[in-house]
Amino acid sequence: MYAISLDDDAELRPLEPWHAEEFLAHLDRGRDFITRHVPFGSTATDVGSARAVLQSYADKRAADSGFLHGLWLDGRLVGGLLFRVFDAATGTCELGCWLEPAGTGRGLVTRGARVLIDWAFGERGMHRVEWCASSANEPSVAVARRLGMTRDGVLRAHHPYRGERQDIEVWSVLAPEWAQARARAGRDG
């Protein structure tokens, strides 16, 4: 299986059903932190249910409708990125993330997201990559900004989570915008 180096000690690689034990241990280390704003991984409470979550994304990958990548730091799974929605027919996908505390503050999500956005536009011919985050999830909103995405709007009181209705910010970047930004970064860097 492939691994994409994000720096000397961080990698982005597919997160597969055979990672169930490692995925569960990671979720258990960071469950309260990970689920502050979204319920991602909350149904994975034992190895079987962790495998089921991973299998659901393996099935999405096989159907070309979504997939998971894990973020490993010093050989330890600390988070990941996912195409929650991947619609090749319309050229639109939604990228998201999660991290346990040990993975925060290192730019892993931003660097990994750049790799996946490059792939979505360059390899798959997508036209639009979206990023949706609770307005209260300031680190996730900051990632969208660092990626150069545009805030399309806020879905006010969009859905209930933990007894409160959450505002969801929708951010996006279009293929031509991404290409221009990457070209500028290449000239400047």
Give the model's pLDDT for residue 161: 87
Judged against a pLDDT cut of 90, whether residue 132 lies above it is answered with yes
- What is the predicted pLDDT for the residue at 56? 96
Q: Which residues is 131 bridged to in the sheet?
A: 95, 171
CB-based contacts of 189, cutoff 8 Å, min separation 6: none
Summarised one tens digit per residue, pLDDT across range 57-115 is 999 999 999 999 999 999 999 999 999 999 999 999 999 999 999 999 999 999 999 99
Instruction: Please report, for the domain that includes residue 172, its CATH number.
Output: 3.40.630.30
Give the pLDDT mean for 136-141: 94
Q: Which domain holds residue 168?
A: 4-188
Q: Which tens digit of pLDDT belongs to each residue from 114-126?
A: 999 999 999 999 9
Mean pLDDT of 15-26: 97
What pLDDT, on the 0 to 100 scale, is given for residue 165? 93
For residue 97, the model assigns a pLDDT of 96
Total number of domains constituting the chain: 1
What average pLDDT does this structure show over 35-57? Answer: 93
Q: Report which of 103, 91, 94 is spatially closest to residue 12, judged by C-alpha positions.
A: 103
